[in-house]
Amino acid sequence: MLIECIPNVSEGRRADVVAAIADAIRGVPGIRLLDFSSDASHNRSVFTFAGDRAGVAQAVLAMFERAIPAIDLRAHRGEHPRLGAVDVVPLVPIEGVTMAECVALAKEVGAAIAERFQIPVYLYEEASTNPARKNLEDIRRGEFEGLASKMTTPGWAPDFGPTAPHERAGATVVGARMPLIAYNINLATDRLDVAKKIAAGIRHSGGGFRFVKAAGFKLDDRGIVQVSMNLTNYEKTPIFRVFEVVKHEAARYGVQVLESEIVGLVPSAALHAAAEYYLQIEGFTPDQVLENKLRRS
Amino acid sequence: MLIECIPNVSEGRRADVVAAIADAIRGVPGIRLLDFSSDASHNRSVFTFAGDRAGVAQAVLAMFERAIPAIDLRAHRGEHPRLGAVDVVPLVPIEGVTMAECVALAKEVGAAIAERFQIPVYLYEEASTNPARKNLEDIRRGEFEGLASKMTTPGWAPDFGPTAPHERAGATVVGARMPLIAYNINLATDRLDVAKKIAAGIRHSGGGFRFVKAAGFKLDDRGIVQVSMNLTNYEKTPIFRVFEVVKHEAARYGVQVLESEIVGLVPSAALHAAAEYYLQIEGFTPDQVLENKLRRS
């Protein structure tokens, strides 16, 4: 079983604090810390680690153990919005684990954080217990500075823990979600309006696909434009369908797709689905993938 | 590191002998026996197991240890051609291992078989030391019954071991090869001639792709025809190129591709390559596959 956890911590300037948190995660048996990076202007660090259910739960608590004494949000400034010292803890099902199990783990971990550190916890995305508190942006609106007042508003009692913010650490958002795919399609034109129109048409907020966020950009150094996307659920809004629609929309303006690119990581199954679609493979199951078979035997 | 081994043993009728060989393979630490199946009319069993370099070498020798005393080819009858009691031992690189390393392992294992059991060993496919002895069919021609005479012919001294057959066990063929993909394309027509013409055009023996074996069949129960293929090196002759050419050739006869199917297992990378091709993904590396990254960290 493999669960990925990508916690965001509100400290991106003091390298010693970030390193100590990384060490705490690394120190948990069975946990692999895949990556961590800090942004000084955001004053924020993102850690990526993976392991099984028990390991991930233990690593999250170990991270809090280090972060909470070290970070005081009352003195924290940075460009990125934040609600807590440990701001958000997303759990992502990777292999041999269902979304339902990740939701259960999110609730378990959320309850443990609240109990051990006396920090209010909100559940978000798939773990959300309230449609108004599904999106991270909605929960985070008002930020740490507005949290005390927000928590007294009807509908904003936390899922776990005290009904007022932790003095230094605010609140934490814990949840489960699908892996994100950062996917860009470059168009063989310098017409920014074409990229912007296509982005507006395919993104959810514009009436497009349910699990697409998109924007149009100019790549000045190459003299071309890009439809830049986040695909937030590749099972329900698959890459191939988005690609085909962008290609089709571009043709409407006499523009061709030059290439696409995947930024960072992509789940193997998202690529398999594209192969299955284009090769018109019938009756295909994940058990037919050699590596899956080898690992599950 | 993961190497797959798919030995073919000349016994498909005595279930106790087959079970004992399976147990011997299973008994090697770190080895996973993924599958084994016997065919009584062929009088032959195929085992599939995987593990690292040392484990695979040990499992091959453990298999010989059981098979050699139990099988006497002088009394063996069956439809499938064979040269040895353990007929052929292919090694296939799966993950974290190169073809060159599998070739080296084939030579090491071949030498060990020859020394320990006094059985002549021929190296084939990527491990072959002689172009006339690359294809299994060429090495096996004449079968066990013709082996003693064949071995006295110039060019047929074995790569390892005695220069005459083992009295009961004949000779063994050991080598390294890419994973095979059994891939069929079904056409929306009942015209067998169309499937046969396409198969003849795309297979290596007909002037087609270097790593394609193909034949045309009728699927009587469905009233359609099939181009049935073995892709013997998906890196050099990728699935997508074969699919696109079949589709194009079919259109020449006014016929459409109905669907395709993968029979049995397919390496993940073969599907990734198809996704990369159709989605026009530039600059993609295997490290971007989430599962690869997680396993290699």
What 3-state class would DSSP assign to A279? Answer: coil
Is residue B296 predicted with pLDDT exceeding 80?
Answer: no
How much is the mean pLDDT over chain A?
A: 95
Using an 8 Å Cβ cutoff, are B72 and B84 in contact? no
Tokens of B80: 């499938």
Mean pLDDT of chain B: 95
A102-152 per-position pLDDT tens digit: 999 999 999 999 999 999 999 999 999 999 999 898 999 999 999 999 999
**Domain-wise residue ranges, chain B:** 2-176, 181-291
B contact set with A (CB within 8 A): 2, 4, 32-34, 50, 94-95, 179, 239-240, 243, 257-262, 264-268, 271-272, 274-276, 278-284, 288-294, 297
Query: Nearest CA of chain A to the CA of B226: how many Å?
Result: 13
> Looking at residues A89-102, what average pLDDT do you find?
94
What residue of B is the nearest CA neighbor of A3?
Answer: B294
CB under 8 Å to B160, separation ≥6 — which residues? B110, B111, B113, B114, B115, B120, B121
Note whether B88 and B105 are within 8 A (CB). Answer: no
Given an 8 Å threshold on Cβ–Cβ distance, is A179 in contact with B290?
yes
Confidence band of A296 (pLDDT split at 50, 70, 90): low
The answer to whether residue A297 scores a pLDDT higher than 90 is no
Render chain B in DSSP notation, one character per residue.
-EEEE--EES--S-HHHHHHHHHHHHTSTT-EEEEEEEETTTTEEEEEEEE-HHHHHHHHHHHHHHHHHH--GGG---SS--SBSEEEEEEEEEES--HHHHHHHHHHHHHHHHHHH---EEEEETT-SSGGGSSHHHHHTTHHHHHHHHHTSTT---SBS-SS-BTTTB-EEEEE-PPPEEEEEEESS--HHHHHHHHHHHSGGGTS-TTEEEEEEEEGGGTEEEEEEEES-TTTS-HHHHHHHHHHHHHHTT--EEEEEEES-B-HHHHHHHHHHHTTB-S--GGGBHHHHHHH-
Specify the range with the lowest mean pLDDT, choosing from A58-67, A283-292, B233-242. Answer: A283-292
Q: Is the pTM of this model over 0.90?
A: no
Chain B residue numbers touching A297 (CB-CB < 8 A): 32-34, 50
Considering CB atoms only, which of B239, B266, B290 is closest to A290?
Answer: B266
> Are the Cβ atoms of A281 and B265 closer than 8 angstroms?
no
Instruction: Report the candidate in B58, B39, B48 with the shortest Cα–Cα distance to residue B108.
Output: B58
Across the range B126-154, mean pLDDT stands at: 95
Interface of A with B (CB under 8 A): 2, 4, 32-34, 50, 94-95, 179, 239-240, 243, 257-262, 264-268, 271-272, 274-276, 278-284, 288-294, 297
Residue B294: predicted pLDDT: 77
pLDDT value of position B45: 94
Cβ distance of B268 and A274 shorter than 8 Å: no
If you measure CA to CA, which chain B residue comes closest to A260? B281
Specify the pLDDT at position B297. 57
* CA of A37 vs chain B CAs: smallest distance (Å): 16
**Region B2-176: CATH code:** 3.30.990.10
Which of A3-7, A164-168, A182-186, B31-35 has the lowest average pLDDT?
B31-35
Catalytic annotation, residues of B: 80
Q: Quick one: average pLDDT of B237-241? A: 97
Record: contact A267-B284, CB cut-off 8 A: no
Q: How far is CA A70 from CA A220, A261, B17, in A?
A: 42, 38, 66
pLDDT tens digits for range B199-209: 999 999 999 99
Give yes or no for a contact between B124 and B102, defined as CB atoms under 8 angstroms apart: no
Burial of A155 (0-12, 13-18, 19+ CB in 10 A): exposed
| Binary contact (A264, B94; C-beta < 8 A) | no
Predicted pLDDT at A95: 83
Nearest CA in chain B to A296: B34
Q: Does the distance separating the beta carbons of B260 and A281 come in below 8 Å? A: yes
pLDDT in tens, B66-90: 999 999 999 999 988 999 999 999 9
Amino acid at B24: A
Q: Among partner residues B34, B268, B281, which is closest to A268 by beta-carbon distance?
A: B268
How many percent of chain B have pLDDT more than 70? 99
What pLDDT was estimated at residue A241?
A: 97
pLDDT in tens, A236-247: 999 999 999 999
Interchain CB distance below 8 Å, B262 and A271: no
Give chain B positions within 8 Å (CB) of A94.
Answer: 290-291, 294
| Predicted pLDDT of residue A293 | 81
Integer-rounded Cα radius of gyration of chain B: 21
pLDDT of residue A99: 95
- In A, minimum Cα distance to B292 occurs at A268
The pLDDT of residue B174 is 98
Choose, out of A31, A279, A294, the residue to mutate when testing the contact with B (most B CBs < 10 Å): A279
Structure tokens at A113: 């954080």
Find the CB nearest B290 among A94, A289, A294. A94
Decide if A2-176 and A181-291 have a common fold. Answer: no
- Find the mean pLDDT for residues A64-93: 96
pLDDT at A264: 84
Mean predicted confidence (pLDDT) in B253-274: 94
Give chain A positions within 8 Å (CB) of B291: 94-95, 267-268, 291
Q: What is the mean pLDDT of residues B53-60?
A: 98
3-state secondary structure of A176: strand
Task: Indicate the pairing of strand A32-39 with strand A2-5.
Answer: unpaired
- Count CA within 13 A, CB hemisphere, residue A169: 25
- Which residues of chain A neighbour B294 with C-beta distances below 8 Å? 2, 4, 32, 34, 50, 94-95
Q: Cβ–Cβ of B32/A290 closer than 8 Å?
A: no
For residue B260, the chain A residues in CB contact (below 8 A) are: 279-282
Kindly list the strands in the beta sheet with A257-263, ordered across the sheet, starting from the edge strand earlier in the chain: A212-219, A224-231, A181-187, A257-263
Strand partners, A165: none
For residue A295, pLDDT beyond 80: no
Arch. (CATH architecture) of A181-291: 2-Layer Sandwich (3.30)
Whether the CB-CB separation of B265 and B183 falls below 8 Å is answered with: no
Query: Is A80 designated active site?
Result: yes
Size of interface A-B (CB pairs under 8 A): 137
Using DSSP's 3-state secondary structure scheme, residue A180 falls into coil
